Amino acid sequence: MKQVLTKTRNSADFDSFYREYAPKLFGVAYRMVRNQTDALDIVQESFLRAYNNWNKFKGKSKLSTWLYRIILNYSYDFLRKRNRQKRADMPEGYEGRTETFDGERQVRQSELADKVKAEIEHLTVKQKTIFVLKTYEELSYQEIAEVVHSRIGTVKATYFQSVQKIRKRLKEQGTLSHGL
Amino acid sequence: MDCKEIRTYIVEYASDGEDCTRHAEVTDHLAGCPACRDEAEEVRRVLTAGREIPVPTFAPEFWEQRLPAFRYPARTPVRLKLALSLASVLAIAALVTYQVHQRQTTRQIIATNVMTHSSVLPADETINDLVECVQDCDPDLALNALLKK
């Protein structure tokens, strides 16, 4: 769908934008927080903020870029809160487990995919954000740079670091060499 | 380019394919360098596996059901907040007015009672002291007790 960039945006514009982007942005939130309920909350909060500021949007960037920023900020807030909570609640050495549910298993997950999924959690928030936007959302480096307010060179370098970090950790575990 | 330099492009090469800025050079190098080729293959496998990680999907109806929440943004809470703020201001104003009124009434009672016992009206400071004394009890009893002293 073409992005709505008219000066007089209305509810109909918002609705069509929501229909196209809600599922996509849910994917981003889910990959950031790895929990369905929390990701749905993040999407809902983000679109509510977008709706309330719908007519204030200046159009300096694409609507999708603006919304990616909102959803990532909510995800960061959530991760910060969760980390604080974890530190307060969990005994030392607790590794943590993420929620799984039957509906999630729509595609059969390979063992390597599982391991990559686990390794993504060892990335920094910035690395994770760029990895998610590049690998799953397939945004260009330029688009990612706009979303995260960074330079293209920095985005490329961070993406490189995050992929190499995952690869090296998997290699150390022997995962890649076992032909999984 | 040597291996060290090539490796800085391997992620971009595996991720972006022909859009990689040094695609041709990396391709040529990989053809003759098994070590870099292995690394490129590992990166490709990581990215492929990463893309396979599933995300729950929902039918369009699911998202449609959640849409009305945005069509009617939180007007009621905003109005409620305004109403509560206004009510708070009014309550504080009423309380202040009541206290000022109470104080004035007490002053009048004390002044009247003092005048019945003395032809000279006491100084304001004295009345103020008496007002403080009788704020929480019967002004007449407090005054009588003071006069007896």
pTM above 0.80, yes or no: no
Kindly list the averaged pLDDT for each block of 10 residues, start to end, along chain A of length 180. 47 81 91 90 89 77 86 90 66 44 44 86 92 89 92 93 93 70
Q: What are the extents of the domains in chain A?
A: 1-106, 109-180
Q: Which of B83, B58, B133 has its CA nearest to residue A39? A: B58
Average pLDDT in the B33-37 region?
Answer: 91
Instruction: Show Cβ contacts of residue B21 under 8 Å, excluding neighbours closer than 6 positions.
Output: B9, B12
- A36, A99 Cβ separation under 8 angstroms: yes
So what's the pLDDT on residue B112? 74
Q: What is the DSSP letter of B122?
A: P
What is the dotted CATH code of the domain comprising A109-180?
A: 1.10.10.10
Q: Which of A26, A20, A8 has its CA nearest to residue A132? A: A26
Q: Of residues B141 and B108, which shows the higher confidence score? A: B108
So what's the pLDDT on residue A52? 82
CATH 1.10.3720.10 fits A1-106, yes or no: no
Average pLDDT in the B38-52 region?
Answer: 88
pLDDT tens per residue across span B55-110: 888 888 888 888 877 665 555 567 788 889 999 999 999 999 998 888 888 777 77
Helices of type H across chain A: 11-33, 36-52, 63-89, 111-120, 125-131, 141-147, 152-172
Q: For residue A30, list chain B residues with Cβ-Cβ distance below 8 A.
A: 55-56
CB-closest option in B43, B45, B56 to A112:
B45
Contact (CB<8Å) A120/B50 = yes
- Interface check for B4 against chain A (CB to CB < 8 A): the answer is no
Q: What is the DSSP letter of A135?
A: I
Q: Which of A45, A136, A119 has its CA nearest to residue B48? A: A136
- What is the share, in percent, of chain B residues with pLDDT greater than 70? 70
So what's the pLDDT on residue B74? 53
Q: Cα(first)–Cα(last) distance of chain B, in Å? A: 107
**B9: pLDDT strictly greater than 80:** yes
Q: If you average pLDDT over every residue of chain B, what do you get? A: 79
pLDDT tier at B117 (50, 70, 90 boundaries)? low
CB-closest option in B54, B57, B70 to A109:
B54
So what's the pLDDT on residue B68? 74
Q: Is the ipTM of this complex over 0.95?
A: no
Q: Of residues B48 and B133, which shows the higher confidence score? A: B48
**B120: pLDDT strictly greater than 70:** no
Q: What CA dihedral angle connects B30, B34, B37 and B42, to 10 degrees?
A: -170
So what's the pLDDT on residue A89? 56
- A132, A32 Cβ separation under 8 angstroms: yes
Residues 51-110 of A with CB under 8 A from B: 51-52, 101, 103-107, 109-110
So what's the pLDDT on residue A123? 92
Question: The tokens 């206290």 sit on which residue?
Answer: B99
- Interface check for A176 against chain B (CB to CB < 8 A): the answer is yes
How many CB atoms lie under 10 A from the CB of residue A9?
A: 17
- Interface check for B17 against chain A (CB to CB < 8 A): the answer is no
Mutate to test the interface with A, among B20, B70, B71, B75 (most CBs of A within 10 A): B70
User: How many residues are given for chain B?
Assistant: 149
